């Protein structure tokens, strides 16, 4: 067995022969042919591109093995394609470039690519397809194992969470496929790091690709782009701070579960000062969130035609490099960032000052214990909370509901409309009694039992129409029409103090001193109200006013922003 060169250290960063490194570079297809690389094989162009990558100061290239090119008929492999794979890895090794081979293209640039023989079989739960995928993965990994000096990690596939096969299979089938593929890769290349190249749909949908549910993978990936249609809420372009908060937030979510790489990112368009502003915002923020590497999409603009470029023309001009082999002027900050990143101190890997609560049962599909959390709705609320708390100057992290709360770094936990089990409520009650501070938006009526009454200091009394108009709080009047289960739960305070009520006199905001800690509870879902106008920048001053007020109720450190 060849020696193991690449590993992850205790802080979740890559090492090469024991020395910490940061993979910085690009995702790669040749500009002339794009996804037809293995069939066209423009050897001279590829080698020139690898030379250029080095000249520009980068060290890493992620590339893709389109399955039909390597196994055109089921069980029959192309010796030509595998020989070309070895050539590519040889060229990278000669240049001391590190690589991330990606095995299953599947989803690529808005197109889906499978061998003809896949037909309508599901990749994840069809026994024939699983068998073929496992054998292909082991064979490709065995080829990669000949190049331990250049293969940083092997990627199971590109954005598999975007495939229709995911929702056509059960989450358990996706998890088992991940486990089986990881094992096959490590049989072919013992000791190699494994990653699965997924994106924000690990957070904003329930595709089956779940954090803490990717067995055999050594780290997580995160991809994201500033396009509202691909997220759970709208924003106002790349210069919008809300847009700039998304990739760092997703990175921090993944980092709560393990090491994470920003494996693919870009700006959708590569002209205009908005690109430069976007990169100046997201790259340092992702570094602070714990990202251990950054790869741009892609090296050059594509000249290729055919599928998928003929239907998704915007994919063509996404390259980092323009005419003259120079990085495009509005993208140069990535090059500058890559130069200084290795000199920056590693950020704290903790839950921040204020932690957003990631419930024990975040994903809904096939989980009978989930009390009502849906990733799309919950992620939207968490994005709002993360953005607003960050705007107020706080270092925001993630606390997991499946982990003990004792010893976390956060002095305050914010629950942005999550539904919790009784055992989670009991754990939070103990944490508050010990001195913790809790802000909870939108408490689900179906989860309100005795444990929750103790935590909030009030008991449920009636189910009313979902509206709360004329709520006077934090120097403003608020109208709320977003409630869990579309029901306004009217409560009777016991130990809690009513901070604000609606025009009917129903309590809306409660404050409860519990043990050495404090709880502020809002019965409506204010984050849903904010999200309805999330692309209206002028409306966000109200968000900060609300969150600053909620933090003041639990005597948290006062907001540091002047807008508070």
CATH number at residue 213: 3.20.20.80
> In terms of domains, do 324 and 365 share one?
no
Instruction: At 191, list the tokens.
Output: 């000791």
> In terms of domains, do 151 and 11 share one?
yes
> In terms of domains, do 106 and 153 share one?
yes
The answer as to whether 1 is a domain residue is no
pLDDT of residue 555: 84
CA dihedral 65, 313, 200, 219 (to 10 degrees): 30
How many domains does the structure of the chain reveal? 2
Write the DSSP symbol of residue 205: S
The string of DSSP codes covering 71-138 is: -SBTTB--HHHHHHHHHHHHHHHHTT-EEEEEEE-EEETTEEE--GGGTT--TTT-HHHHHHHHHHHH
Judged against a pLDDT cut of 60, whether residue 560 lies above it is answered with no
> In terms of domains, do 326 and 454 share one?
no
Judged against a pLDDT cut of 50, whether residue 557 lies above it is answered with no
pLDDT 10s digits, 94-108: 999 999 999 999 889
> In terms of domains, do 141 and 90 share one?
yes
Per-residue pLDDT band for 562 (boundaries 50, 70, 90) equals very low
> In terms of domains, do 446 and 319 share one?
no
Per-residue pLDDT band for 110 (boundaries 50, 70, 90) equals confident
pLDDT of residue 309: 84
The answer as to whether 382 is a domain residue is yes
> In terms of domains, do 150 and 179 share one?
yes
> In terms of domains, do 338 and 369 share one?
no
Mean pLDDT, range 469-475, rounded to an integer? 97
- Alpha-carbon gap, residue 527 to 524, rounded angstroms: 9
Domain that holds residue 461: 354-553
> In terms of domains, do 328 and 252 share one?
yes
Instruction: At 413, list the tokens.
Output: 């936990």
Per-residue pLDDT band for 2 (boundaries 50, 70, 90) equals low
Judged against a pLDDT cut of 60, whether residue 424 lies above it is answered with yes
> In terms of domains, do 314 and 392 share one?
no
Instruction: At 244, list the tokens.
Output: 């700039």
- Alpha-carbon gap, residue 548 to 390, rounded angstroms: 11
Q: How far is CA 443 from the centre of its chain?
A: 25
> In terms of domains, do 338 and 407 share one?
no
Q: Is the peptide bond before 308 cis (omega within 30 degrees of 0)?
A: yes
**Under 8 Å between Cβ of 68 and 105:** no
pLDDT of residue 558: 39
The SS3 of residue 385 is helix
Mean pLDDT, range 58-71, rounded to an integer? 98
pLDDT 10s digits, 309-323: 888 877 889 999 998
Judged against a pLDDT cut of 70, whether residue 16 lies above it is answered with yes
pLDDT 10s digits, 176-211: 999 999 999 999 999 999 999 999 999 999 999 999
> In terms of domains, do 303 and 363 share one?
no
pLDDT of residue 227: 96
């Amino acid at each position: 067995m060849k020696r193991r060169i690449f590993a992850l250290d205790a802080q979740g960063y890559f090492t090469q022969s024991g020395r910490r490194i940061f993979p910085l570079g690009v995702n790669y297809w040749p500009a002339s042919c794009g996804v037809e690389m293995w069939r066209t094989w423009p050897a001279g162009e590829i080698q020139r591109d690898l030379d250029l990558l080095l000249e520009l100061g980068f060290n890493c290239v992620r590339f893709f093995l389109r399955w039909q090119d390597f196994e055109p008929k089921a069980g029959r492999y192309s010796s030509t394609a595998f020989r070309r794979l070895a050539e590519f890895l040889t060229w990278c090794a000669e240049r001391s470039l590190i690589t991330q081979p990606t095995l299953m293209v599947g989803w690529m640039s808005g197109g889906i690519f499978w061998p003809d023989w896949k037909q309508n079989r599901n990749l994840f739960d069809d026994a024939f397809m699983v068998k073929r995928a496992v054998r292909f993965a082991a064979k490709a990994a065995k080829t990669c194992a000949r190049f331990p000096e250049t293969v940083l990690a092997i990627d199971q596939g590109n954005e598999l969470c975007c495939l229709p096969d995911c929702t056509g299979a059960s989450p358990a089938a996706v998890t088992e496929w991940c486990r089986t593929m990881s094992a096959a890769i490590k049989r072919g290349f013992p000791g190699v790091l494994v990653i699965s190249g997924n994106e924000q749909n690990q957070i904003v949908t329930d595709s089956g690709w779940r954090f803490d549910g990717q067995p055999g993978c050594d780290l997580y990936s995160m991809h994201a782009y500033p396009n509202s249609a691909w997220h759970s809420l709208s924003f106002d372009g790349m210069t919008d701070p809300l847009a700039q908060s998304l990739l760092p937030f997703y990175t921090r979510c993944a980092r709560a579960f393990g090491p994470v790489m920003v494996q693919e990112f870009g700006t959708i368009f590569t002209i205009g000062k908005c690109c430069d502003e976007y990169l100046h915002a997201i790259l340092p923020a992702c570094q602070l969130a714990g990202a251990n590497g950054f790869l741009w999409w892609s090296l050059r603009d594509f000249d290729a035609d055919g599928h998928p470029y003929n239907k998704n023309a915007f994919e063509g001009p996404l390259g980092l490099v323009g005419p003259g082999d120079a990085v495009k002027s509005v993208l140069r900050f990535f090059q500058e960032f890559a130069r200084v990143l290795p000199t920056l101190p590693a950020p704290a890997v903790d839950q921040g000052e204020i932690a957003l609560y990631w419930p024990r049962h975040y994903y809904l599909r096939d989980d009978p214990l989930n009390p009502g959390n849906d990733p799309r709705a919950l992620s939207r609320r968490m994005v709002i909370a993360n953005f607003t708390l960050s705007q107020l100057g706080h270092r925001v992290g993630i606390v997991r509901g499946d982990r003990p709360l004792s010893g976390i770094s956060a002095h305050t936990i914010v629950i942005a409309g999550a539904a919790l089990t009784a055992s989670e409520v009991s754990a939070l009650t103990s944490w508050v009694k010990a001195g913790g501070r809790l802000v909870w938006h939108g408490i689900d009526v179906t989860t309100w039992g005795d444990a929750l009454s103790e935590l909030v200091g009030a008991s449920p009394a009636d189910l009313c129409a979902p509206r709360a108009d004329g709520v006077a709080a934090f120097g403003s009047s608020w109208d709320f029409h977003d409630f869990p289960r579309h029901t306004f739960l009217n409560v009777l305070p016991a130990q809690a103090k009513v901070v604000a009520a609606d025009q009917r006199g129903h309590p809306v905001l409660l404050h409860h001193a519990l043990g050495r800690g404090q709880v502020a509870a809002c019965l409506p879902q204010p984050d849903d109200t904010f999200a309805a106008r999330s692309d209206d920048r002028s409306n966000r001053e109200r968000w900060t006013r609300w969150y600053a007020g909620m933090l003041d109720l639990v005597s948290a450190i006062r907001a540091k922003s002047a807008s508070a």
